[in-house]
Amino acid sequence: MKKLWLLVIGVVLYAATAFAEEVSDRLKAAATVMDEIMAARDKGIPGDVLDKADCVAIIPGMKKGGFIVGGRYGKGAVSCRNKDQTAWEAPVMLALEGGSVGLQIGASSTDVVLLFMERSGLDSLMKDKVTLGGDASVAGGPVGRSATAQTDAAMKAKVLSYSRSQGVFAGLELEGSTLRPDKDDNKALYGKPIEAKDILTGNPAIPSAAQPLIKALTKYSPKGK
């Protein structure tokens, strides 16, 4: 019996470690997405637009596909600036889900970046989830340095969305999709159960696994607005 319990404990610990490593890899992938998008010169997110964002969510490798009825699903993280707009805070792990109906076939993997131009756009996330286009207006973000005219129009939206698929950067239509906290991922990242609102308002210490993402955000936008 003792050997059985030791085996069970070993399996549980192994599973928990593997899951934590998966979350860590996801955060590293999010940092890589940020680096590569910002390195795209005239095809990436305009620096002045990023500087105005209060929060940034990155979903590396969002899956999209279907036949007639399509859907999308991805997991990532969101980080917000502190009250003084001088630093990026500990992230909330989240999931993006959505669906669409229409004539479509096939599947794809897309990196997604969402700029929350107002922190209030995340208010619903603290309670349950954010519906893009419902709780927070969303629009495809302007791309490149020469996107001033587009920027003026797009800045009316609370959320600007970007995508990268097969090396192409562009605005992304996410109307009706939802963002929700991923409780399991947050538990794995912080080592204990923790609510999204407690992360977003409590300013916990940034876990080591999240440092690559925070460093990437700080590199490209150290101060906001």
pLDDT per position as a tens digit, 14-59: 344 555 789 999 999 999 999 988 887 666 788 888 999 999 999 9
Q: How confident is the model at residue 107 (pLDDT cuts 50, 70, 90)?
A: very low
Tokens 């009250």 label which residue? 83
Measure the CA dihedral 98/46/123/217, to 10°: 100
Residue with the larger pLDDT of the pair 166 and 138? 138
Distance CA 220, CA 222 (A): 6
Both structure tokens of 164: 């990268």
Distance CA 196, CA 208 (A): 18
Q: At what angle do helices 211-220 and 2-38 cross, to 10 degrees?
A: 10
Q: Identify the weakest region by mean pLDDT among 25-29, 90-94, 150-154.
A: 150-154
